[in-house]
Chain A
């Protein structure tokens, strides 16, 4: 596709439900990042993949959060037993490969936990 796509765009969950957020990267982009953006704040790093390898997960806020990218393309961010504080926009970004290259962001998934 032309850009990074994310689905769903909006998700409403009841507290305690599990959710799965999907990111489709730009074709050929090796690196993939997940960020969390709370209302009125800048995005905060969650985790980073190079191909299928998760190289950095230092930003995941708790063990309820995990991410996978099994074939080095599509990635899924899963949140188990959602809490109200998980309400945020979840952004996916991808880049071709190297450290000096631009990250391209998707439109985000807005998660609201009631």
Chain B
């Protein structure tokens, strides 16, 4: 089946620290991979995506690389800000329609 596993949170960092949130997946075929973010009181927003192996998605200083050999799509940011505090969801779409989400990782950034 199709599934996504994310590192458990909450992850608490100081401002300007380096961020990694691990995500691994199981899927049939060649899924597209996504990171969505949910800021407090807001809806889910697409952060970045990658559609094939070795693609790198990037947005707002965040990056993730589609690694087929390790079935991973880890989210990284070099220097986090307080405004990055949110819940981050890794997701895949096996056939291009429904999204399959991980459980989410809470990120808290302290000033």
Contact = CB atoms under 8 A, between A and B. Distances in A.
A8 B36 CA distance: 24
Interface string A91-109: 1010000111011111110
Contact of B51 (A55, A91, A100): A100
B45 to A, nearest CB: 7
Size class of the contact patch on chain B:
20 to 34
Interface stretch (B13-21, B76-84, B93-101): B93-101
Given A42-B89, A45-B100, A100-B51, A91 B95 contact: no
Contacts of B100: 45
Interface residues on A, range: 20 to 34
Indicate the member of A31, A40, A59 with the most B CB atoms within 10 Å: A40
A106 B104 contact: no
Given A42-B91, A42-B104, A102-B46, A59 B98 contact: yes
B98 A43 contact: no
B6 to A, nearest CB: 8
A43 B43 contact: no
**A contact patch SS:** loop
A105 B43 contact: yes
B42 A107 contact: yes
A94 B25 CA distance: 24
Contacts of B46: 102-104
A91 B36 CA distance: 14
Given A91-B44, A105-B43, A99 B98 contact: no
Interface of A: 3-4, 31, 33, 35, 40-45, 48, 55-56, 59, 91, 93, 98-100, 102-108
> 9 tightest CB-CB pairs across the interface, nearest first?
A99-B96, A42-B101, A105-B44, A45-B98, A107-B43, A105-B43, A42-B103, A43-B101, A102-B46
Given A42-B89, A56-B97, 16 more contacts: A3-B43, A33-B97, A33-B98, A35-B99, A40-B104, A41-B104, A42-B91, A42-B101, A42-B104, A43-B44, A43-B89, A56-B98, A91-B43, A91-B44, A99-B95, A104-B46
